[in-house]
Every structure is written in C-alpha cells, then in structure tokens.
Amino acid sequence: MSDVKFKVDFPSEIIREGTVRVVVPKLEAFKKQPADYAPSKAPVFYNPVMELNRDISVLAFQAYQRLVGREISVCDPLTGSGIRGLRFAAEVNGVKNVVVSDINERASKLARHNAHLNGLHEVVAVKHMAANCLLSCHDAPRRRFDIVDIDPFGSPVPYLDSAVRAIRNKGLLAATATDLAPLCGVHAKACLRKYGGKPLRTEYCHELAVRLLAGCMARVAAKQNVGVRVVFSHSLDHYIRVYAQIDYGAKKADASVKSLGYVLHCFNCFHRETAKTLSATFFEKCPECGSKMSWAGPLWLEKIFDPQFCDAIAQESRRTAFRNSGRITKLLSLAKDEAEAPATYYVIDKISNKHSSPVPSVTAMLKILHDNGFEAAQTHFNSRGVRTNAPAIAVQNLLKVTISSSRQLFDESFGSGQ
C-alpha cells in the first residue's frame, strides 16, 4: 500500500503545530477513565502538552545551526506520529536531512504518511527500527548526525550510549526525562539504578534532576572518550530537558568527569554546598548549625546554561511566533540571568514557613541581597526561587530584615490601626 493511500485505522484528527499539519490519534477516544494517560493508551504516541518542548527544540536547533554555519542532519529515533522530526525539517533552516524512526510499525507508517502530507518526504527519511538499532547503524564517522534528539516516554538513559556514538564531533545531544519521581527523590533507588546518582527531596529537586541527567550523560559519553558541555537546560510542566554539545577526545572526557560531584544539604538550616568528592567529614555535622548533612550525586556541578547559547536561542525566538512565545521569552530571560549564578536556589516560602513568618516578595528579597553585596537572580525552576551566593544564615537574616522593613513601611503609610 503506498504512502499516499495509507488509511489511519484508529480514531484520529488533523492538527496544526508550528508550520506543519499532522494526523494524530484523537486522544479523547482512548481515555476510558479519568485517571487514564491518553497518549500512552493510543496506538501511536502523541502528547500535545509537549508542544512547548518541541517549540524550544526548534529554536535551539536553529541556534545551533547558525552557530556552526553549515547544513546539519538530525535524528529523532523515537518519533511516534513524526511531528517532532517533521517540525525540524520544516522550521529549521539549513537542515539537509532528518531521519525519524519508531519501533511501532503503525507509528512509522503514520510518520511516513505525515511526511507526504507536508511534502517533506524527500527531506525526512522514515524508518521502522528500534531506536538503539537505528543509532548504532549511524556510529561510523561519515554516517553520524549533527543532532540526536532523545525524547522518550520516561527515561532517556537506555538510548544515551548509542546516541553519543551516533553524533559527530561538536554535535548536539538533546535528552528529555519525564520520570521525575526517581529524579526528584520520590523513588531514590530507581534513580540510583537508572542514572547512577542519589537524588534528594529538596526545594530545588528539579535542578538536581537536571544535574543528575547531565551527570549521567557525561559518564556515558566518557566511556566513549567523549566529553560533554551543557549549553542549555530547562524544567517545565512534567519533564526536564538537557542540551549538551559533545567533544571528542580522552582529555575532554576527563574534563567532563572532573565536572561531576555532589551537593550537600542541611535540612535544618538550609545550608548547602558543592563538593567534587565525598568525605566522611561531610556527614559529621553542618558547618552552620551542627546537624547531620544529606547529599545528592554524583551529578553535574558545572554550568547548566551557556549565556552565548541562551542569546542565540533568544535571537531565534524573536524571529519566530509560536503559541508559546510568551512562555519561551520568559524562560530564556530567566535562564540567561541565572546562567552565571551559583548552583541551587532558595525558595522564599520554604524559609518563611520554617520561621513561621510572613512571606516577602521575590523582588524584595532580590533587592536586599543586592543591597548587601550578594549576587542574586531569579530562577526558571521555581517562580519563588532565588539564586544567590549568600550563605543560608545570611539569607534567613535578610529575609527577617525584609519583613521588618515591610511592616515598618506599612505602619508609616497606614498607621498602626489602633
């Protein structure tokens, strides 16, 4: 049966996303109970919530293409309906070819149909193969891709090794993880088993999740004598996403391994610090309050945003109009602001609750931190979060000062109420 005559044998609809029109499962038809996750129940996987993820990917890949200044090739080995790969082919200038594949035969047929529907069948090659099998077929020097996009339902770890081997030097590896329960410390054993690192249930657990994934990527790449450099990352909705440029060579791999370490955290006084290695002294007591320290890792301790790459994505965002453009602009602005800030962040509400005190605004906290000579920036990970180089005790003392100043200003403006 030809691609043109292909008939979808399940409830479906045509949707528009970006510049492409694609046939996708009509998800309501596969939701039998309120708790059902319709995308996983459909015969071909499609998740409309991930449109924002795909939008950012288009911008990031376009930014990468402009930075390298040549035509690029892209692989989407877990394609589902094909929407991700089709958008790359249609919306990223300078893409010479896109290879998409799915182990699900109905998915590969639907992706091929959608490629014809958009007139992209000469740019998009559709395969019916397991992801690791496809990537392994492209691990030879002249067969490698510039970009490999791993966007699974769950963990990307099973595909990282073959993905690294299928990327050319200076290429880009993008990986999504939707299994946040292990990464955020709800299922710590599963995180250690999958990602090779111990998580921690802290107020900044989503940043730790990004760093755990990035650390896993670095260790997997190092086994192939490949280094990684994280250029962008984000935590949105129900998933995290990491973009890393790979760099061939044993010295580059060694440098990546040296970028791994641990985050130490005191649950009593909010003190936190980073360490390249763990020592028994870390578990004796917190240097601030004397309580026992907890830890997460090994994980990535270096930057999780590259300012130049953030700027490049922002430039592409200004040229492009998406339904999610407002969210993207805000994300990129925050990411650039926090790019040079220290690892981890404080959540103002968490500290206020600890001291049973009113909650000041983030703006007020940023101002008083700056006024006292500390670095401070908001974070996209949490709208109530503040990144700063101020010690935990200083943050708590300044929070009290902020509350006191706010009360004094109120009393002066409106009186004591008596």
State residue 135's pLDDT score: 98
Q: How far apart are CA 2 and CA 106, in angstroms?
A: 14
pLDDT at 37 exceeding the cut of 90? no
pLDDT at 212 exceeding the cut of 50? yes
pLDDT at 151 exceeding the cut of 50? yes
* Cα 154 from chain centre: 13
Where is average pLDDT lowest: 240-249, 276-285, 358-367? 276-285
- Domain at 345-418: CATH architecture: 2-Layer Sandwich (3.30)
Partners of residue 343 on adjacent β-strands: none
pLDDT at 414 exceeding the cut of 60? no
pLDDT at 200 exceeding the cut of 70? yes
CA 43, 47, 51 angle in degrees (round to 5)? 150
**Contact, 345 vs 382, CB < 8 A?**
yes
State residue 34's pLDDT score: 81
State residue 7's pLDDT score: 82
pLDDT at 258 exceeding the cut of 50? yes
Q: How far apart are CA 79 and CA 101, in angstroms?
A: 6
How does residue 55 score in pLDDT terms, banded at 50, 70 and 90? very high
The percent of residues above 90 in pLDDT, for the chain, comes to 88
**Each residue of 349-386: b (16+ CB within 10 Å) or e?**
ebbbeeeeeeebebebbbebbeeeebebbbbbbbebbb
pLDDT at 344 exceeding the cut of 80? yes
Average pLDDT (133-149) is 97
State residue 330's pLDDT score: 97
Q: How far apart are CA 363 and CA 291, in angstroms?
A: 31
State residue 408's pLDDT score: 53
pLDDT at 187 exceeding the cut of 90? yes
> What residues does each domain of the chain span?
48-300, 345-418
| DSSP-derived pairing of the beta strands 20-25 and 346-347 | unpaired
Please tell me which residue, 277 or 303, carries the higher pLDDT value. Answer: 303
Average pLDDT (119-141) is 97
Q: How far apart are CA 21 and CA 41, in angstroms?
A: 22
Please tell me which residue, 404 or 344, carries the higher pLDDT value. Answer: 344
How does residue 418 score in pLDDT terms, banded at 50, 70 and 90? very low
Q: Give residue-wise pLDDT tens across range 385-396.
A: 999 999 999 999
Class in CATH terms, 48-300: alpha beta
How does residue 40 score in pLDDT terms, banded at 50, 70 and 90? confident
Which among 340, 418, 344, 327 has a CA at the least distance from the CA of 381?
A: 344
Partners of residue 234 on adjacent β-strands: 241
Average pLDDT (126-150) is 97
Please tell me which residue, 180 or 7, carries the higher pLDDT value. Answer: 180
- HEC letters along the chain: CCCCCCCCCCCEEEEEECCEEEEEECHHHHCCCCCCCHHHHCCCCCCHHHHHHHHHHHHHHHHHHHHHCCCEEEEECCCCCCHHHHHHHHHCCCEEEEEEECCCHHHHHHHHHHHHHCCCCCCEEEECCCHHHHHHCCCCHHHCEEEEEECCCCCCHHHHHHHHHCEEEEEEEEEEECCHHHHCCCCHHHHHHHHCCECCCCCCHHHHHHHHHHHHHHHHHHCCCEEEEEEEEEEECCEEEEEEEEEECHHHHHHHHHCEEEEEECCCCCCEEEECCCCHHHHCCCCCCCCCCEEEEEEECCCCCCHHHHHHHHHHHHHCCCCCHHHHHHHHHHHHHHCCCCCCCEEHHHHHHHCCCCCCCHHHHHHHHHHCCCCEEEECCEEEEEEECCCHHHHHHHHHHHHHHHHHHHHHHHCCCC
Average pLDDT (66-86) is 98
Burial category of 156 from C-beta neighbours within 10 Å (exposed 0-12, middle 13-18, buried 19 and up): buried
pLDDT at 2 exceeding the cut of 60? no
Average pLDDT (134-139) is 97
Where is average pLDDT lowest: 113-122, 123-132, 275-284, 313-322? 275-284
Whether residue 298 has a cis bond before it, omega within 30° of 0: yes
Rounded CA Rg of the chain: 23
State residue 104's pLDDT score: 96
pLDDT at 404 exceeding the cut of 80? no
**Contact, 56 vs 241, CB < 8 A?**
yes
| DSSP-derived pairing of the beta strands 346-347 and 382-388 | antiparallel
How does residue 406 score in pLDDT terms, banded at 50, 70 and 90? low
Q: Kindly report the backbone phi and psi dihedral angles of residue 263, in degrees, each rounded to the nearest multiple of 5, phi listed first.
A: -110, 125
State residue 405's pLDDT score: 65
Q: Kindly report the backbone phi and psi dihedral angles of residue 391, in degrees, each rounded to the nearest multiple of 5, phi listed first.
A: -65, 160
**Contact, 143 vs 116, CB < 8 A?**
no
